[in-house]
Amino acid sequence: MFAAGFMMNAWITATIVAVVAGVVGYFVVLRGAAFPAHAIPKGAFAGAAGASLLGINTLIGLAVFSLLGALGIGSMGRRGRQDVATALALVMMLALGAAFLSRTTEYEPQIYSLLFGEVLGVSTNQILPVLLLGIVCIAAVAVIYRPLLLSSIVPEVAEARGVRSHRIEICFLVIVALATAMTVPVVGALLIFSLMIGPPAAARSLTSRPGLAMIASVVIALVTVWVAIAAAYLYNWPVGFFVGALGALSYGTGRGWAAWRRTRTTPVTTPRLTPATTERA
């Protein structure tokens, strides 16, 4: 399981992907941005199809489409409802993908791997771009960490403090887009989403402290991908299935743990880090 070169590549890239997904995903869950986090990778898949049609590097197609998607969602969402903007940006990108695919005679397994990932088929020269983009993502999160956190939890207070919410929103969507571009060729357009939702959601129900929750989220994401790869290697089932199932499982466990703790302890008096306070408005 560890000896073969391609398995080593799989472990390394999956570890990078899990760290990025754990960190970015924490903010996805905190901001309630699950739909953009689903739409950007899924729409970016069309970029890969377009790139293969033009005969250029798939990574470029993915990057261009995921950035376009992020900016489209950001700017359209400013005028109307964001979920509507996200849905329409997504279907437009997918429709372009369908148009591209109708022009190519792409071999079907290749589409399957773009959507569901081919973590066991990562080549050595794919690791470096993944690592670079991963570092850029984490660095970007670190740079806007405080305003991002503030605008995610209490948007009104952030506005009052002079944080430009819309600008932060665009920055955040671009970070999701970067994370997408790097991860889609590895874990697939659809499964990066599971990794960005399940582990952070579980982490949030474990602790309400942002720093601690982010670490927990990364740890759960790491365990998820490692177990998924090992299981995929042993049973020869798609990695994606295990990632999806483990994501749901960790979320369920987190919810169960939180519910159990609530019945055991007295009501919490310290202000908890939940967006509930903002919902009343």
With contact defined as beta carbons under 8 Å apart, do 230 and 177 qualify?
no
**DSSP code per residue over 197-219:** HHHHHHHHHH---HHHHHHHHHH
Q: How far is the CB of 126 from other proteins (least distance, A)?
A: 21
| Residue 268 binds to other proteins (criterion: CB under 8 A) | no
With contact defined as beta carbons under 8 Å apart, do 64 and 49 qualify?
no
Q: How far is the CB of 121 from other proteins (least distance, A)?
A: 14
| Residue 237 binds to other proteins (criterion: CB under 8 A) | yes
| Residue 247 binds to other proteins (criterion: CB under 8 A) | yes
Q: How far apart are CA 117 and CA 195, in angstroms?
A: 12
Closest CB to other proteins among 216 and 266? 216
Report the site for other proteins in 61-120 (rule: CB under 8 A): 79-81, 83-84, 86-88, 90-92, 94-96, 98-99, 101-103, 108-109, 111-112, 115-116
Q: How far is the CB of 78 from other proteins (least distance, A)?
A: 11
Structure-token pair, residue 220: 């759960």
Residues 117-156: x where in contact with other proteins by CB under 8 A, - otherwise, as a string: ----------------------------------------
User: Which is nearest to 97 in space by CA: 41, 181, 33?
Assistant: 41
Q: How far is the CB of 128 from other proteins (least distance, A)?
A: 27
Mark the segment that binds other proteins (CB under 8 A) among 47-55, 194-202, 219-227, 262-270: 194-202
With contact defined as beta carbons under 8 Å apart, do 207 and 217 qualify?
no
Q: How far apart are CA 124 and CA 44, in angstroms?
A: 23
Considering only 11, 145, 233, 241, the residue that binds other proteins (CB under 8 A) is 241
Sequence-distant (6+) residues with CB within 8 A of 161 are 150
| Residue 258 binds to other proteins (criterion: CB under 8 A) | no
| Residue 29 binds to other proteins (criterion: CB under 8 A) | yes
| Residue 22 binds to other proteins (criterion: CB under 8 A) | no
Q: How far apart are CA 185 and CA 265, in angstroms?
A: 45
| Residue 251 binds to other proteins (criterion: CB under 8 A) | yes
Half-sphere exposure of 96 (CA within 13 A, CB side): 20
